[in-house]
Structure 1
Amino acid sequence: MTETPFVPAVDVTALLLDTDTLDAFLGALAHHALDLAPNATGCGVTLERQGRPVTVSSAGPTATELDEAQYGQDDGPCLQAMRTGTTISVPDTLNEKRWGTYPAYAATHGARSSLSLPIAPHTHTAGALNLYAPHPHAFDTTDHQPLHLLAAQATGAIALAQRLSDARQFTDDLHTALQSRTTIDQAIGIIMGQQRCTPDHAFTILRSASQHRNTKLRDLCAELITTTTGQPPAATPLHPRP
């Protein structure tokens, strides 16, 4: 009896911590999937973003092309795996009757068999791990358990990475908002000095001018500061609060 060769498990959490961005993590994930399926020559990672499937990372020369062919007809094994949460195996694309013209396209583009495993099924980050091989029945002798474990671990890691990415975006948005607030505060100070008025009245003057000129308030304030001082708005408050 032939023993299945030992394949070391992938520590997806460590992989996530070792990469700086979500894209880098997904790229490493695709390459690790190829390590677990030595007969495969390509791997694509599909994630649904804003209601559309996107190959967010790939390894191998044709994975992205094969993924996108399925997106074009809105049908195929990777989309079925993503939408149903089940593993989809294609033993031989030349004998495959599902998914319209896609199997013939895959065969002519060097994929005679494929394996698609769901990632984060039934969530807003649903996706699939798609493996492609140039020979039929290439995954018949592959141990699927490590691949299933990788996809299952990726489910939690991608959700975490997405939260971290969202947090960074929130931080960037907050920084932009604070910069806008600083610019507006500086402009209010200028109007107060010119008109000898209260901060509320100065803000009303700026807002009315913004509406009249159909210009964003921050842009109007930046223009006022530059015109008055000869310098662009300061990046930080002139008089930060304690």
Structure 2
Amino acid sequence: MDNTSPAPLADLNAELFSLLAGSPGMGEFLEHVVVLASDVVDPAAACGLTAHRDGQPFTAATSAELAARVDEIQYDADQGPCLEALHTGRAVWVDDLSVDVRWPRYRMPALAAGVASSLSLPLRVDGHTVAALNLYSVQARAFTSPARQFAEAYAAQCAAALTLALRHASQAQVEEQLNAALASRSVIDQALGILMGQQLCTPTRAFQLLREASQHRNRKLRDVAADVITRVTGQPPQEPSVSRATPSEFVRYGS
């Protein structure tokens, strides 16, 4: 597919708004966004979406476990391309992390995790950066100029869909959906730990097993993860307690 032609972008715009209309909540919509981003920009790339909650960044959705791990490296280091995109509202491109020295505390752990190049794109709602769409590749120079241009156009479409969703959501709905996204990620992480111990596998392989089970059973990833936890522990997963947030806390972050 020629990603730079108008037709695919028009098709993606229609698909995004169809997904928005058909998703029961913000968390499910964001999961669709990251999977679609990986599919259309670079199927070999891992995609994650970083949002802001109670003064802290968190990963709201991922297409692969690598994205979650690399996001966490940045949160721990308090620096990195996704955080820079969030804070500045500008796209951040890493062509070859092995020679890019902008974020010294992030660079070596990210290289060790397997990342060689990345692209972080801000999502803006009503003039404010509310999230960053992050693509990570194990190959250097993975994001060529045409790929970056297409990814930026896709991110703009995602921001438009997110704007519509937030404008039509009540304060209570936004609170509930952000809380659900946080809780869902926690449940998935617990299940990954169990699968890694059982299968003696990497986080990436554990995530693949969860994703395959989700697709095969046509069930949400979070629900499949909860089944794993309940089957092993005999109890439903423990979800984190979260404080209340307002839509303005979600929207008024970044530039």
User: TM bucket by the smaller chain?
Assistant: 0.5 to 0.7
Structure of larger gyration radius: 1
Going from structure 1 to structure 2, the CA distance change for 1:125 and 1:164 (only over 3 Å counts) comes to farther
Going from structure 1 to structure 2, the CA distance change for 1:15 and 1:4 (only over 3 Å counts) comes to closer
> Which shifted more, 85-94 or 133-142?
133-142
Looking at structure 2, the residues matched to 74 and 122 of structure 1 have their Cα atoms a distance apart, in angstroms, of 26
1:104 matches 2:72: no
1:7-47 deviation per Cα after TM superposition (whole angstroms, max 9, x unaligned): 82212222211211100100000011101222642001011
Alignment correspondent of 1:74 = 78
RMSD between superposed Cα atoms in Å: 2.7
- The aligned runs of 1:41-56 (5 Å cut-off) are 41-56=45-60
TM-score by length of 2: 0.60
Alignment correspondent of 2:138 = 134
Going from structure 1 to structure 2, the CA distance change for 1:65 and 1:169 (only over 3 Å counts) comes to same
- 2:122 pairs, out of 114, 118, 124, with 118
Looking at structure 2, the residues matched to 80 and 92 of structure 1 have their Cα atoms a distance apart, in angstroms, of 17
Q: Is the contact made by 1:85 and 1:121 (CA closer than 8 Å) also made in structure 2?
A: no
What is the SS of the residue equivalent to 2:84? Answer: helix
Give the share of equivalent positions with the same residue, in percent: 35
TM-score by length of 1: 0.63
Looking at structure 1, the residues matched to 3 and 164 of structure 2 have their Cα atoms a distance apart, in angstroms, of 33
Q: Is the contact made by 1:121 and 1:127 (CA closer than 8 Å) also made in structure 2?
A: no
Corresponding letter in the other structure for 1:74: D
Alignment correspondent of 1:149 = 153
Alignment correspondent of 2:8 = 8
Residue 169 (structure 1) shift: 3.6
Going from structure 1 to structure 2, the CA distance change for 1:50 and 1:160 (only over 3 Å counts) comes to farther
Alignment correspondent of 2:37 = 33
Q: Is the contact made by 1:48 and 1:125 (CA closer than 8 Å) also made in structure 2?
A: no
What is the SS of the residue equivalent to 2:109? Answer: helix
Looking at structure 2, the residues matched to 33 and 13 of structure 1 have their Cα atoms a distance apart, in angstroms, of 14
1:78-117 deviation per Cα after TM superposition (whole angstroms, max 9, x unaligned): 0111111111111111111111121111111111110101
> Which shifted more, 5-14 or 56-65?
5-14
Query: Which structure 1 segments of 5+ residues have no match?
Result: 173-242
Q: Which has the higher helix share?
A: 2
Query: Which structure 2 segments of 5+ residues have no match?
Result: 177-255
Alignment correspondent of 1:88 = 92
- The aligned runs of 1:87-236 (5 Å cut-off) are 87-120=91-124, 126-140=130-144, 142-167=146-171, 169=173
Looking at structure 2, the residues matched to 122 and 107 of structure 1 have their Cα atoms a distance apart, in angstroms, of 35
